[in-house]
Amino acid sequence: MKKLTPNAHIRILSPSSSIDHIGGFEANRASKERLEALGFQISFSSHYNEHDMLGSASIESRIADLHEAFLDDSVDVILTTIGGFNCNELLPYLDYELIKKHPKLFCGYSDTTALLNAIYAKTGLKTYMGPAYSSFKMETLQDYQTESWLTALSQTSYDLTPSQEWGSNAWYLPDAELIFHQTEWKVYNHGQAEATALGGNLSTFSLLRGTPYAPQDTDYLLFLEEAEEDDYFDFDRALAALLQAYPEPKAVLIGRFPKECEMTEELLLYILAKYPVLKTIPVIYDMDFAHTQPLFTVTIGATVSVDTKTMTVHVEEN
């Protein structure tokens, strides 16, 4: 699969929530302008304006947009508009052979977790958990986010490093109060590990259990995070179910919780302490991915090496 190059063509599409659900084209024009300023060509899928009762488009339209993007030889990168709640509806209807024959860099986060892991599971192609199209209109903290995205999509070997500061803010509102904190990745249990990266949004990744679209790797580590609508009770029971389906992770890397989850460090440590396996492998939390800002980009399906003593997380795609 060709890596990101200057002047690459990026196709924006909405496999879950539509662009109208987040204000429409004009409300997100700043994302287009920022990506164009980086030198990229931007195009939009045929049905990006379609918007139904659930804030999405029909399954047929979303599948058509995905297949069209993969078939278009001029498209180098497929970038999702935002997350949502219904990517998993598409999984039985995707032509995975078509996708495998026309590989593209595919990036998104949150609900896109279902597609990222299913495409990897069904085709072996690596995918990218990172910012969506709408993420690029964020002003503050954008430098870290953009740099990580560019690095992951253009290089086959890179390190994940902490941001300087972070926030859990409604940054997309013009009058939102912005509160920032110093970033600190924290260790629950020390260790070293090397395995294949799986996961993303915990609630969405959980939807793949028991389906043909769940990755079947035997040597894996898990990236896990939760969205604003999932509180600490949701995380507690979803983690239990996940560790029953994936009982032998080599490491667990946890993204910061948005403030709406009401997760405290005391609660998180109490939940993690329930699982003996987490006392035998590297576990890091409060990392820069998911539903706080900014977020790094990491390759699903890549080999990730973790060393908590040196606090290094290295990604190798080859």
**What is the set of domains in the chain, with CATH numbers?**
9-157 (3.40.50.10740), 165-316 (3.50.30.60)
Reported as type and span, the H/E element at residue 18 is none
Q: In the prediction, which pLDDT does 186 show? A: 98
Residue pointed to by tokens 């662009």:
19
* Residues classed as catalytic: 110, 225, 291
Cβ(70)–Cβ(102) under 8 Å? yes
Indicate whether 61 pLDDT > 90.
Answer: yes
- Please give the DSSP secondary-structure letter assigned to residue 249: -
pLDDT in tens, 234-265: 999 999 999 999 999 999 999 999 999 999 99
pLDDT in tens, 159-218: 999 999 999 998 888 888 999 999 999 999 999 999 999 999 999 999 999 999 999 999
Q: In the prediction, which pLDDT does 228 show? A: 93
Q: Which residues contact 262 (CB under 8 A, 6 or more apart)?
A: 231, 232
Mean pLDDT estimate for the chain: 97
Q: In the prediction, which pLDDT does 94 show? A: 98
Q: Which residues contact 47 (CB under 8 A, 6 or more apart)?
A: 14, 57, 61, 62, 64, 65
User: pLDDT band at residue 35, thresholds of 50, 70 and 90?
Assistant: very high
Taking the alpha carbons at both ends of the chain, their separation in whole angstroms is 11
Tally of CB atoms within 10 A around 184: 8
Cβ(226)–Cβ(199) under 8 Å? no
Tokens of 170: 């409604």
Peptide bond between residue 162 and the one before it cis (omega within 30 degrees of 0): no
Q: Rounded mean pLDDT of 109-136?
A: 98
Q: Rounded mean pLDDT of 78-85?
A: 96
Q: Rounded mean pLDDT of 13-33?
A: 94
Cβ(121)–Cβ(215) under 8 Å? yes
Reported as type and span, the H/E element at residue 195 is strand 192-201
Indicate whether 114 pLDDT > 90.
Answer: yes
Is the whole-model pTM more than 0.85?
Answer: yes
Cβ(93)–Cβ(40) under 8 Å? no
Indicate whether 57 pLDDT > 90.
Answer: yes
Backbone dihedral angles phi then psi of residue 105, each to the nearest 5 degrees: -70, 125
CA 190 to chain centre: 25
Tally of CB atoms within 10 A around 50: 17
Q: In the prediction, which pLDDT does 48 show? A: 87
Q: In the prediction, which pLDDT does 142 show? A: 97
The span from the CA of 185 to the CA of 172, in Å, is 25
Q: In the prediction, which pLDDT does 152 show? A: 98
More confident residue, 290 or 156: 156
Q: Rounded mean pLDDT of 270-290?
A: 97
Q: In the prediction, which pLDDT does 175 show? A: 81
Q: Rounded mean pLDDT of 287-308?
A: 97
More confident residue, 318 or 237: 237
The span from the CA of 216 to the CA of 86, in Å, is 22
Indicate whether 301 pLDDT > 90.
Answer: yes
Indicate whether 49 pLDDT > 90.
Answer: no
Q: In the prediction, which pLDDT does 37 show? A: 98
